[in-house]
């Protein structure tokens, strides 16, 4: 199995190095506009949040997979895990704010030893949409995870899962050998308890992200292709497909640089800049919380170590008012969320 950039002691595992690359080269020379210049040119600078509606918790970087594009640099060798104490602080915030969506991500969130306890506690608080981003293969990784579909159903969890493609070759190339077959089996298990089935209350959405240095195409067209192929080939059903653009950070940045695609990819992102996507980027209504409780504008800024520009930066000091008043931190990776129809954890935004 592949190792994380951190375990390989890669220079790119350092956030400062990534930020240096994103600010240097073509952007420093001026051959391409920086993201701040670009949004200034369309009157949308500085980027400000609206109401905080989504709390996205990264409950740990440990994962049973090592995906080639992973922006978290997650894997079995990552030991960062959210503690019960931090989870309790998150529960307090959910209780006392207007957050209506709770979004658990990782790593594989299910690998956090306190995952089930947290889901049980949080689901008592009545959030409207309780999302778990499951990589699917975790359900089959160990006996103790086999009942996850029933556990999710019991708590009315909205399951969102990555499946880069409806064919084996592309999926396994990005996510590892054997991942496609296991993912299909896991999807069938989820369907069996009602997930993604017509007229079921249990929602199962899939995430597509390109397996290479290119941008996603039309989300609806992809959803149609996925639905047809997965139904015909594997009798698998799901609700919606979210097309997500790969952001040039962490392992995907490493891939772009080592395959000599970095400049062309950044050019494609800048070229596809859509001013209409800027108003609805996810950092405008989301707060991302790291395993150790720090607050970020989004999961990508979390991986770049860019804590919120607010006096209170930790979940234990969560202050909705000052967070709503902050300026969102940006760099050139933000072009990934404003390209084409835009991109967010909930798919396109424009």
Partner 1 sequence: MEKTYYDPADLKKFGKISDWNEELGEKFFDYYGKVFEEGSLSAREKSLIALAVSHAVQCPYCIDAYTGDGLKRGITKEEMMEAVHVAAAIRGGATLVHSVQMMNKYDKLSM
| Rounded-to-integer distance, Cα 208 and Cα 240, Å | 10
**Which one of the spans 20-28, 147-155, 214-222, 231-239 is the region binding partner 1 (CB under 8 A)?**
214-222
Binders in 284-313 for partner 1, by CB under 8 A:
none
Q: Which DSSP symbol is given to 187?
A: H
Binders in 116-175 for partner 1, by CB under 8 A:
165, 167
Backbone angles phi, psi at 185, to 5 degrees: -60, -40
- Which tokens go with 146? 């086999």
User: Which residues does 39 contact at the CB level (< 8 Å), separation at least 6?
Assistant: 45, 47, 278, 330
Smallest gap from Cβ 342 to partner 1, in A, equals 16
- Shorter beta-carbon distance to partner 1: residue 293 or 342: 342
Smallest gap from Cβ 54 to partner 1, in A, equals 28
- Beta-carbon count within 10 A of 100 CB: 16
Helix, strand or coil, per DSSP, at residue 159: strand
**Among 216, 248, 293, 342, interactor with partner 1 by CB under 8 A:** 216
Smallest gap from Cβ 225 to partner 1, in A, equals 6
**Which one of the spans 40-48, 98-106, 121-129, 218-226 is the region binding partner 1 (CB under 8 A)?**
218-226
**Which one of the spans 19-27, 107-115, 210-218, 327-335 is the region binding partner 1 (CB under 8 A)?**
210-218
Helix, strand or coil, per DSSP, at residue 339: strand
Q: Is 33 in the site for partner 1 (CB under 8 A)?
A: no
Backbone angles phi, psi at 71, to 5 degrees: -80, -10
**Which one of the spans 96-104, 126-134, 194-202, 209-217 is the region binding partner 1 (CB under 8 A)?**
209-217
Binders in 221-240 for partner 1, by CB under 8 A:
221-222, 225
**Among 66, 215, 303, 339, interactor with partner 1 by CB under 8 A:** 215
Q: How far is CA 341 from CA 16, 192, 284, 335, in A?
A: 30, 33, 16, 12
Find the Cα–Cα–Cα–Cα dihedral 295, 301, 304, 306, rounded to 10°: -50
129: left (phi over 0), alpha (psi -120 to 50) or beta: beta
Smallest gap from Cβ 304 to partner 1, in A, equals 26
**Among 13, 36, 123, 217, interactor with partner 1 by CB under 8 A:** 217
- Shorter beta-carbon distance to partner 1: residue 134 or 343: 343
**Among 50, 51, 267, 317, interactor with partner 1 by CB under 8 A:** 267
Strands 295-296 and 286-289: antiparallel
Helix, strand or coil, per DSSP, at residue 265: helix
The footprint of partner 1 (CB under 8 A) covers 165, 167, 210, 212, 214-217, 221-222, 225, 267, 271
């Amino acid at each position: 199995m592949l190792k994380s950039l951190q375990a390989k002691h890669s220079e790119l595992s350092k956030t400062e190095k990534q930020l240096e690359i994103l600010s240097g080269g073509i952007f420093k020379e001026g051959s391409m506009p920086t993201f701040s210049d670009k949004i200034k040119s369309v009157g949308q600078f500085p980027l400000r949040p609206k109401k905080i509606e989504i709390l996205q918790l990264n409950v740990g970087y440990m994962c049973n997979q090592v995906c080639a594009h992973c922006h978290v640099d997650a894997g079995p060798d990552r030991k960062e895990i959210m503690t019960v104490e931090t989870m309790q602080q998150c529960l307090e915030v959910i209780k006392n704010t207007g957050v209506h969506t709770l979004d658990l991500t990782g790593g594989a969130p299910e690998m956090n030893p306190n995952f089930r306890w947290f889901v049980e506690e949080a689901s008592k608080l009545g959030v409207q949409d309780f999302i778990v981003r499951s990589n699917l293969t975790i359900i089959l990784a160990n006996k103790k995870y086999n009942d996850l579909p029933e556990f999710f159903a019991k708590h009315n969890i909205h399951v969102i899962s990555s499946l880069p493609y409806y064919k084996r070759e592309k999926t396994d190339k990005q996510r590892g050998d054997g991942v496609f077959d296991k993912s299909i089996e896991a999807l069938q298990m989820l369907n069996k308890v009602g997930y993604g089935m017509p007229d079921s209350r249990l929602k199962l959405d899939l995430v597509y992200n390109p397996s290479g240095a290119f941008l996603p195409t039309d989300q609806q067209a992809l959803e149609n292709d996925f639905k047809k192929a997965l139904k015909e080939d594997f009798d698998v059903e799901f609700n919606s497909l979210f097309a997500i653009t790969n952001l040039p950070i962490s392992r995907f940045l490493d891939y772009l640089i080592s395959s000599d695609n970095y400049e062309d990819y950044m050019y494609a992102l800048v070229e596809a800049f859509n001013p209409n996507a800027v108003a609805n980027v996810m950092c405008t209504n989301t707060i991302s919380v790291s395993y150790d409780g720090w607050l970020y504008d989004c999961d990508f800024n979390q991986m770049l170590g860019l804590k919120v520009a607010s006096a209170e930066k930790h979940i234990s000091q969560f202050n909705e008012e000052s967070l709503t008043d902050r300026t969102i931190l940006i760099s050139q990776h933000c072009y990934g969320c404003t390209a084409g129809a835009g991109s967010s954890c909930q798919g396109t935004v424009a």
